[in-house]
């Protein structure tokens, strides 16, 4: 049973470009979460999705950031017109399809975004 | 503000010694999780302890939870060089939104 997959592992973008980060949850998991980690800090919640639904995006910046989890395929975190402050590690986590409050979230290896 | 805060920020020990780190949080939780992160890598889930549990073991790891003090501790016994990593506690005070501290960086010297 493969773990949470994320790609790419490293992404370099110039200011103004778009960044697309992909996450495939563990088999059987239908809840996906995105977190951001700035250098020397802990992870900060961004968004929680289920298939075809955004459940909670309260941690995501209002502009330039969007997330989706389509019926087929991976979850995508999209950052438009990237700025240097977007440079961070972005982690995806998944959990089983029952109450997310009581279960472990399993994390992927992360995508390290560098904005030049 | 961060819900979970680890203490100390950094810890350096000799191989074979025990390492203890603490986590304090502010509001009621359903469960508390500990994760390990090796430098530049992803998070590895270590252990989950529920609010009605006081102690849990997994291999060389021992986790305690004191809900009256809103604190948890992670003990790594007989440390190895491979235990060198950052350790984070994560709480779910805000439901599924895990809240992480800045972590404890553990260095195990050979």
Over the stretch B42-63, which tens digit does the pLDDT of each residue have?
889 899 999 999 999 999 999 9
Q: Are B31 and A102 in contact (CB under 8 A)?
A: yes
Beta bridge partners of A23: A6, A75
Mean pLDDT, 10 residues at a time, chain B of 110 residues: 76 96 90 89 90 96 96 97 94 81 92
Residue with tokens 């910046």: A61
Query: Smallest CA–CA separation between B17 and chain A, in Å?
Result: 26
**A102 contacts in B (CB within 8 Å)?**
30-31, 50
Nearest-angstrom CA–CA distance, A39 and B66: 30
User: Would you write out chain A's pLDDT as a tens digit for each of its 116 residues?
Assistant: 578 999 999 999 999 999 999 999 999 888 999 999 988 788 899 999 998 999 999 999 999 999 999 999 999 999 999 999 999 999 999 988 775 555 678 899 999 999 99
Backbone angles phi, psi at B75, to 5 degrees: -115, 125
Q: Which chain A residue has the Cα nearest residue B6?
A: A42
β-strands B10-14, B104-109: how paired?
parallel
Query: Smallest CA–CA separation between B105 and chain A, in Å?
Result: 10
């Amino acid at each position: 049973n493969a773990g949470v997959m994320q790609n790419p592992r490293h992404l370099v973008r110039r200011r103004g470009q778009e960044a697309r980060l992909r996450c495939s949850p563990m088999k059987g998991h239908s809840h996906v979460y995105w977190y951001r980690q700035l250098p020397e800090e802990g992870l900060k919640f961004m968004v929680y999705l289920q298939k075809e639904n955004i459940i909670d995006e309260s941690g995501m910046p209002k502009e330039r950031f969007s997330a989706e989890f389509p019926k087929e395929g991976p979850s995508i975190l999209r950052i438009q017109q990237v700025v240097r402050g977007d440079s961070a590690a972005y982690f995806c986590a998944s959990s089983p399809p029952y109450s997310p409050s009581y279960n472990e979230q399993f994390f992927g290896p992360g995508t390290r975004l560098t904005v030049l | 503000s961060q819900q979970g805060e680890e203490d100390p920020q950094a810890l350096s020990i000799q191989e074979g010694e025990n390492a203890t780190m603490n986590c304090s949080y502010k509001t009621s939780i359903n469960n508390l999780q500990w994760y390990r992160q090796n430098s530049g890598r992803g998070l590895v889930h270590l252990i989950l302890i529920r609010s009605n549990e006081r102690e849990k073991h997994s291999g060389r790891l021992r986790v305690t939870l004191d809900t009256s003090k809103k604190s948890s501790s992670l003990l790594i016994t007989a440390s190895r060089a491979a235990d060198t990593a950052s350790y984070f506690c994560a709480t779910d005070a805000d439901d599924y939104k895990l809240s992480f501290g800045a972590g404890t960086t553990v260095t195990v010297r050979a």
